[in-house]
Structure 1
Amino acid sequence: MSALRASILLALAVISAPLAARDVVDASEPTGLAVTIYRDPYSGFDRDNPGGFAMISETRSVTLPAGESTIRFEGVAEGMIAVSAIVSGLPGGTIEKNRNAALLSPAALVDGTLGNRVTITRTNPATGQEESEQAIVRTRADGGIVLQTSQGYEAVRCSGLPEKLIFDTIPDGLSAQPVFSIDTRDETGGTYEVTLTYLSWGFDWQAHYITTLLQGDRRGRQYAKMLSWLTLVNDNAQSFDNAELLVVAGTLNVESDFEELAEPPRGESLRLRCWPRGNTAAGSPSYPYPPAPAPPPAMMADSIVVTGTRMQKAAFESASPVAVMAGEENLGDLKLFRVPEPITVQAKGLKQVAFLDKDRVRGELIYEAACDLYGRVYQDDQFGPAQLIFQTENDERHGLGVSLPQGGVTVFEPSRAGDLLIGEDEIRDYPIGQEVEINLAESTRVFQQCARTGEIEQSEKDRADWRQLRAAVTNSGSQSAQVRLEIGRSSDIEVRRTRGLKLRNGAHVIETSVGAGEEREFLIWVRDI
């Protein structure tokens, strides 16, 4: 009989073993952090609603008991995409992973204490004395709080008296920071160093270039100083202290909707519904708003002062020499910029890191004009301004030789009154070896004209109509100007009988020099393809 009882007990123990509660173990605070930020591939930089993401790697230590246990990683990013999380360094791997949705909040505190005791404290308005008693929470927090006291049942903060609830403990499973947990198994137990890697929504970055034009030389070469900053934004409520910071430039193919997958946990507030005045039928009385204050008296005409602010270059530059400079690395077809020193990525904050500081970039000033059948065509003798461009090569010979991520450009020019803003532009990604163009401003000395002459010739070979355009470029300045006249895309039109014609970046162009006080005229024959 005793042998049969022992067999039954052993079988029950085997069956119930998987149902035994797992030990809950908290991982340590991160001892190592790496944050790699990817910019929004579909839209521009938005500080208030960043559309990029980051890959975050956290190194932590954990002490596991023998058998199965649950590891809690507290303080992960609230924009964490749980399905992307990978934990390495565990001997038993991962059985299951979970994202804890409940944050410590007034509503969660009440819901977690449902059926348990709390202390309610009231202040007597006549004496100022506080009176406390024990009560049991009988309802959830989504419509009001009902307590059971020695006097019966009552709603919190519906008596008109100052009241507060005191909770002795925090319910299990609640944390002030987002928590990610996994279930694992270790046959012997021990202390391990693990790495948690995951994607998180709510990050972004952009590049911005400060370009100052310098004095050119007699050969017509123009020089410029270029300084660029990476601006990073972290919209999460968590900071990443002393992290290895990296940013990735280039177009990344993203198919998933990371914003929808993130689902950050939320702390719910209390919504107490009661009527301390009036009654439940009439509700609380509604009082009109007080009238708006009268406007101040108008100023006398002779006391009006108009002030203005000139945009200063100093507002864009660092107040001290650049101490930390991000270095460039290859990442497949993308570019990786690594900050050489640990950086703290603040919660709900911006961070700027320099990645380009070139004192003398060599290029030239180009005046760009256009004349085509369907584009910039002027009537009669009307002239329009040409576009002034700073053009250079992205190589070491011209003073660059680094990848230039997409971003804004602010251009200054020295003057007797200091460096003055002359233009702003947006550039695309420029890898090493490509020609770089920065739009400066509309020219005040080089103008263009484009008109149809009305001349039409028909090709004997294919009966296609050739149309004649007349382009004119004038230079009212005291120095010669390098002009590039764009006629149209080579995929759209064909051009013939035009001197100086060449192909450039898929377009038919004429490049020429127009002397000081000179006007050049071009007759161009074109037809549609």
Structure 2
Amino acid sequence: MVLGAAVIAAAPVQAQQVVTSPAPAKVAVTIYRAPDRAPDDAIDPAWLGGYALISEEREVAIPAGDATIRFEGVAAGMLAETALVEWLGAGVSEKNLDAELLSPRNLYARAYGRPVTLRRTDAKGRVKDEQAIIRSAPDGAAIVQTKTGFEIANCGGLKDAIAYDGLPEGLNARPTLSIATHAASARKALVRLTYLAWGFDWQAHYVVKLAPGAQAAQMTAWVTLANGDTTGFAQAQAAVVGGKPKFDESREQPEEPEDLVLHCQLSPVAPPAMVVPPAPMAAPAVMMEADIMVTGAKRMMAPVVVKEEVLGDLRLYRVPMATNVGAHSQKQVALMAARRVKLGLIHRADVDLGAEDGESQQARIRLRIANRKADGLGLALPAGGLAVVQQVGAAALPVGEGAMEDKAVGETANVEIGASPQVHLESRTRRISDRVELITATARNANRWPVHFESQQLLPDGARLLSASTKLGRQDGHPLWAVTIPAGGKVSLSYRLQMPR
């Protein structure tokens, strides 16, 4: 019996099918404010601690069988584990955020041991191309090998730029989310991709223009949208969320890739071990200079007014028209158009019996705004900074600045906007008996107009008010003296206290 050798022909390996979605057809960006930033703290463009919920609709041609679908142009700060792909109709077995972006530094690092072109410019401005091989890491000096031997780029009076023959595998011009799919048959689908991303923030700011007499004002509010990501979103449906949702703060904000800086000196950093590079990709030559110039953040203003919606215990403020949320930019839209509101301008100084007797203190100016329709408001007001100006002739002069916490409809905002050098309070204490003291408080107004004045009497624990020269109210468990001080005048209050044993 002759045993014939069995030969099994290997099945041809089918190339992986790759489908690329270059950009969304529609996109919505909902920004959550940085949870640890105070209402009067300005947005720090270099460190945006808020989130954005980004929802994209993309048209995708899904091939039959196994395939990889690439969603280009997602946010670089995407939290890939939050990505939700809907309406796909095919099984998703894997998700990857391909965020190693094309940059001079990454391109140089990936080109180690590969041929490049040195575009050399001498002191007379003459340009010459020369073939070279990169022989160093991107930290320190750029060591290249040319026909004449090893040398350092950008040295000896030469200005060198590096041109690459193609893009190394794995580098992306834009942040990309890739998913592995399996479909029984080919079809076209409208896919919705939703995910959270770091590096966003928003801020509300109010401008109050006082009317004569300071009993009413014109109030305007703006919202600043901040995007610190390398990805911008054109014609997006933008919205912001007011309130303080709970966030997991254990994450760190992704860092921007470092620039490539070539030094004309040897570096103590040892070059990496020699690796065999893949064959160059068939792509046009890509020229990357050693330095990148990034334009400053842009600030735009648009006359659109956001609309308020309920989002559970929070509030959603939606921009009613599509707007561009640019990369590394800030943009302002109107939260509230100018409207006439009623308010109170209060001068406040409290009597603290623990303070030095007879000491004069400046009153603090507070702006009191009732958030109700009868007073011109009646909408949820997100926390933010507040600036007060007074019309004097043709000019609007600043009066003061403060901060307002989140205020629901029906709540009252008391915003401290500064101190008044024209309104002072002093108090004196005289002992009548072992347990009884007489306190006299005097408030003076040097303004040429009357002011509303309030003073809380901060009594020691266990002290009891026996009598007072005028009827007192109550606030936070302490007696409250509320009075109008005439222009250039003064008012006084006296009361007797029984001190604790």
TM-score bracket, normalised by the shorter chain, equals 0.7 to 0.9
Instruction: Give, in whole Å, the separation in 2 of the partners of 1:124 and 1:255.
Output: 54
Q: Which of 397, 401, 421 is the aligned partner of 2:398?
A: 421
Contact residue 210 and residue 410 of structure 1 kept, 8 A: yes
Q: Which of 408, 414, 439 is the aligned partner of 1:437?
A: 414
Q: Which of 176, 180, 184 is the aligned partner of 1:183?
A: 180
For 2:227, the equivalent position in structure 1 comes to 234
SS at match of 2:100: coil
Contact residue 100 and residue 265 of structure 1 kept, 8 A: no
Q: Which of 24, 38, 47 is the aligned partner of 1:30?
A: 24
Instruction: Give, in whole Å, the separation in 2 of the partners of 1:178 and 1:73.
Output: 9
Alpha-carbon RMSD: 3.9
For 2:280, the equivalent position in structure 1 comes to none
Listed as ranges, the matches of 1:94-493 within 5 Å are 94-114=92-112, 116-119=114-117, 130=128, 132-133=130-131, 141=138, 151=147, 154-155=150-151, 157=153, 160=156, 165-216=162-213, 222-258=215-251, 260=252, 262-264=253-255, 266=257, 269=260, 271=262, 323-374=303-354, 377-380=355-358, 382-416=359-393, 418-443=395-420, 446-455=423-432, 469-475=439-445, 481-488=451-458
Contact residue 213 and residue 414 of structure 1 kept, 8 A: yes
Mark the CA change 1:358 to 1:457 in structure 2 (over 3 Å): closer, same or farther. farther
Q: Which of 465, 475, 500 is the aligned partner of 1:496?
A: 465
Q: In the TM superposition, what whole-angstrom CA distance separates every residue of 1:194-241 from its partner, at most 9, and x where no partner exists?
A: 22222222222211111111134xxxx811111111122222222211
Instruction: Give, in whole Å, the separation in 1 of the partners of 2:263 and 2:165.
Output: 22
Q: Which of 510, 516, 520 is the aligned partner of 2:481?
A: 510
Contact residue 306 and residue 320 of structure 2 kept, 8 A: yes
Q: In the TM superposition, what whole-angstrom CA distance separates every residue of 1:231-282 from its partner, at most 9, and x where no partner exists?
A: 2222222221111111111122222334x1x43462652656756xxxxxxx
SS at match of 1:108: helix
Bigger proportion of residues as helix: 1
Q: Give the aligned residue type for 2:100.
A: A
Instruction: Give, in whole Å, the separation in 1 of the partners of 2:112 and 2:260.
Output: 16
Instruction: Give, in whole Å, the separation in 2 of the partners of 1:106 and 1:447.
Output: 63
Contact residue 465 and residue 495 of structure 2 kept, 8 A: no
SS at match of 1:414: strand
Instruction: Give, in whole Å, the separation in 1 of the partners of 2:258 and 2:110.
Output: 13
> Is residue 2:488 matched to residue 1:519?
no
Mark the CA change 1:326 to 1:2 in structure 2 (over 3 Å): closer, same or farther. farther
Mark the CA change 1:139 to 1:254 in structure 2 (over 3 Å): closer, same or farther. same
Q: CA deviation at 1:425?
A: 1.7
Instruction: Give, in whole Å, the separation in 2 of the partners of 1:124 and 1:448.
Output: 75
Contact residue 78 and residue 264 of structure 1 kept, 8 A: no
Contact residue 36 and residue 55 of structure 1 kept, 8 A: yes
Q: CA deviation at 1:521?
A: 1.7
Q: In the TM superposition, what whole-angstrom CA distance separates every residue of 1:336-383 from its partner, at most 9, and x where no partner exists?
A: 111101111122221111112343211333332211334xx3533x43
Select between 163-172 and 115-124 the one with higher mean Cα deviation. 115-124
SS at match of 1:324: strand
Q: Give the aligned residue type for 1:379.
A: D
Contact residue 28 and residue 61 of structure 1 kept, 8 A: no
Q: In the TM superposition, what whole-angstrom CA distance separates every residue of 1:415-467 from its partner, at most 9, and x where no partner exists?
A: 23532222222222221101222335444554322233235665xxxxxxx76
Contact residue 104 and residue 267 of structure 1 kept, 8 A: no
Instruction: Give, in whole Å, the separation in 1 of the partners of 2:439 and 2:125.
Output: 96
Instruction: Give, in whole Å, the separation in 2 of the partners of 1:61 and 1:163.
Output: 43
Contact residue 60 and residue 193 of structure 1 kept, 8 A: yes
Instruction: Give, in whole Å, the separation in 2 of the partners of 1:127 and 1:212.
Output: 59
SS at match of 1:58: strand
Q: CA deviation at 1:29?
A: 0.8
Give aligned-pair identity as a percent: 32
Mark the CA change 1:507 to 1:431 in structure 2 (over 3 Å): closer, same or farther. farther
Instruction: Give, in whole Å, the separation in 2 of the partners of 1:62 and 1:138.
Output: 42
Contact residue 58 and residue 190 of structure 2 kept, 8 A: yes
Select between 235-244 and 517-526 the one with higher mean Cα deviation. 517-526
Mark the CA change 1:472 to 1:114 in structure 2 (over 3 Å): closer, same or farther. closer
Q: CA deviation at 1:89?
A: 2.2
Contact residue 116 and residue 137 of structure 1 kept, 8 A: yes
Contact residue 300 and residue 330 of structure 2 kept, 8 A: no
For 1:87, the equivalent position in structure 2 comes to 85
TM-score by length of 2: 0.78
Instruction: Give, in whole Å, the separation in 2 of the partners of 1:75 and 1:409.
Output: 37
Mark the CA change 1:156 to 1:337 in structure 2 (over 3 Å): closer, same or farther. same
Mark the CA change 1:526 to 1:439 in structure 2 (over 3 Å): closer, same or farther. farther
Mark the CA change 1:185 to 1:356 in structure 2 (over 3 Å): closer, same or farther. same
Gap runs ≥5 in structure 2: 267-298
Listed as ranges, the matches of 1:65-80 within 5 Å are 65-80=63-78
Give 1 or 2 for the bigger CA radius of gyration.
1
Listed as ranges, the matches of 1:6-45 within 5 Å are 22-43=16-37, 44-45=41-42
Q: In the TM superposition, what whole-angstrom CA distance separates every residue of 1:285-323 from its partner, at most 9, and x where no partner exists?
A: xxxxxxxxxxxxxxxxxxxxxxxxxxxxxxxxx999x83
SS at match of 1:83: helix
Q: Give the aligned residue type for 2:339.
A: D
SS at match of 2:54: strand
Q: Give the aligned residue type for 1:418.
A: A
Q: Give the aligned residue type for 2:465.
A: R
Mark the CA change 1:326 to 1:158 in structure 2 (over 3 Å): closer, same or farther. closer
Instruction: Give, in whole Å, the separation in 1 of the partners of 2:482 and 2:209.
Output: 26
Instruction: Give, in whole Å, the separation in 1 of the partners of 2:475 and 2:194.
Output: 46
